[in-house]
Structure 1
Amino acid sequence: MLDATQRKDIKSGQSVAIVLKQDQRSGILTHGIVRDILTKSPNHHHGIKVRLMSGEVGRVKEIN
């Protein structure tokens, strides 16, 4: 199973669900395609930060 907290499991072009900074309290997920991986470390306990093709930035919660 792919893990949203592991950088190695996330690739550019992948379909993911992220939580945007302003949606962290509500937990609303935004779906899109990964353009850039912004987290440099191999893992992050809140999810790897990515930029979607739409330009939105957030942490990955689900890998589709």
Structure 2
Amino acid sequence: MDGKQRKNIKIGALVDIVLKKDQRTGTLTRGHVKRLLTNSAQHPHGIKVMLAEGDQVGRVQNIVDETAKK
């Protein structure tokens, strides 16, 4: 599922994000959403979130499992 729409992302969902340091390589990091950081309804580069694992921040590229709970 697309990570560019805020309505698609729920707290606890399993997502793939790209961290700021990995934007050039496109390396993805997988984790569960702890907080939504983007306030707008959509963003062309993906909604910015904080992961529960290590408080890493990045933009959602893929939603792996929207019903997952940590």
- TM-score normalized by the length of structure 2: 0.88
Task: After TM superposition, give the deviation of residue 59 of structure 1 in Å.
Answer: 0.1
Residue 38 (structure 2) pairs with residue 53 (structure 1): no
Runs of 4+ in 1 over 6 A off after TM superposition: none
Alignment-derived partner of residue 34 in structure 2:
35
User: For each residue in 1:25-64, what CA deviation from the matched residue of structure 2 results, as whole angstroms up to 9, or x when unmatched?
Assistant: 0000000000000000000000000000020000000100
Alignment-derived partner of residue 63 in structure 1:
63
Aligned length in residues = 63
Q: Secondary structure at the match of 1:11?
A: coil
Aligned-pair Cα RMSD in Å: 0.5
- TM-score normalized by the length of structure 1: 0.96
Identity of aligned residues (%): 56
Is there any run of 5+ residues in structure 2 with no aligned partner, and where?
A: 65-70
